[in-house]
Amino acid sequence: MLVEGRIVPGAKLNERELCEKLRVSRTPLREAIKMLAAEGLVELLPNRGAVAVQLSEADVGHTFEVMAQLEAMNGELAAERATPEQIEEVRTLNDEMLAAYHRRDLPTYYTLNARIHRTISSAANNPVLTSLYETINARLQALRYRTNQDEAKWQRAVTEHGQMVELLSARDGAGLRQLLSQHMLHKRDVVVTQLRMQQEQPRVKRG
């Protein structure tokens, strides 16, 4: 719900409503909220409770800069260390993701997209890098999801994923490093543009 924007950034998490929707009691819900807070998707604020995280433009820029470097390192190491089975898994996931794209099934597309990036991270075979990647990536899940809501940007992302598969298969570490960094910076630019448009909307309404 947080990733797909059904709970908007800055919104307070209503425990009673969530318990009813998810059909759980408050104890497991509160444990889940604590986990989401640890992952960076939720903020626990004094006197307000749990709130969906809302990143500023500066937060977005800084976080995507770090993610671009982490993705780049994952790609370079994966090209060197990935097993043939891991490379084939990435190719299979990309084929399934492409099918979801053609169906315009964004939730499935996003899930497969995330699995591709996690498989590349795992193939890098560096537990410290993987742990850091997962921690930082958690803060960006909702924003990465939204970058595919623009048709032209979505098409570019699909093309870049196809290139990732070919570079990984060719074990071109330098090429994959550059592409993954560029891929993340493209996403950053889309998110920053979206944030600025959202900020402009209230001004237009007041005018």
3 state DSSP class of 44:
strand
AA letter at 178? Q
3 state DSSP class of 55:
coil
Which CATH number fits the domain that encloses residue 85? 1.20.120.530
AA letter at 84? P
One domain for residues 95 and 23: no
Q: Tell me if 7 is assigned to some domain.
A: no
Among 186, 163, 181, 159, residue whose Cα is nearest residue 76: 181
Residue that wins the pLDDT comparison between 8 and 25: 25
- Give 132-156 as a DSSP string: HHHHHHHHHHHHHHHGGGSHHHHHH
Considering the chain, what is the average pLDDT of its residues?
A: 89
Residue 71 confidence (pLDDT): 97
Query: Taking a C-beta distance cutoff of 8 angstroms, is the pair 179, 163 a contact?
Result: yes
Burial of 138 (0-12, 13-18, 19+ CB in 10 A): middle
The predicted model scores a pTM of 0.77
AA letter at 116? I
Query: Taking a C-beta distance cutoff of 8 angstroms, is the pair 100, 112 a contact?
Result: yes
3 state DSSP class of 74:
helix
Query: Taking a C-beta distance cutoff of 8 angstroms, is the pair 77, 130 a contact?
Result: no
Would you state the structure tokens that stand for residue 99, as one six-digit string?
């099918």
Confidence grade of residue 204 (pLDDT, cut at 50, 70, 90): very low
One domain for residues 47 and 66: no
Residue 25 has pLDDT above 80, yes or no: yes
One domain for residues 140 and 106: yes
How much is the average pLDDT of 170-174?
Answer: 98
**Tens digit of pLDDT for each residue in 38-74?**
877 888 988 888 998 887 888 888 989 999 999 999 9
Distance CA 51, CA 184 (A): 26
Looking at the structure of the chain, the number of domains it has is 2
Report the percentage of the chain scoring pLDDT > 90: 59
Q: Tell me if 103 is assigned to some domain.
A: yes
**Tens digit of pLDDT for each residue in 108-159?**
998 999 999 999 999 999 999 999 998 888 878 777 776 666 788 889 999 9
Query: Taking a C-beta distance cutoff of 8 angstroms, is the pair 147, 153 a contact?
Result: yes
Burial of 154 (0-12, 13-18, 19+ CB in 10 A): middle
Residue that wins the pLDDT comparison between 191 and 29: 29
One domain for residues 27 and 88: no
Confidence grade of residue 89 (pLDDT, cut at 50, 70, 90): very high
Q: Tell me if 35 is assigned to some domain.
A: yes
| Sequence-ordered list of residues with C-beta below 8 angstroms from that of 139, at least 6 positions apart, any chain | 39, 40, 41, 53, 55, 63
Q: Tell me if 8 is assigned to some domain.
A: no
Report the percentage of the chain scoring pLDDT > 70: 95
Residue 148 confidence (pLDDT): 65
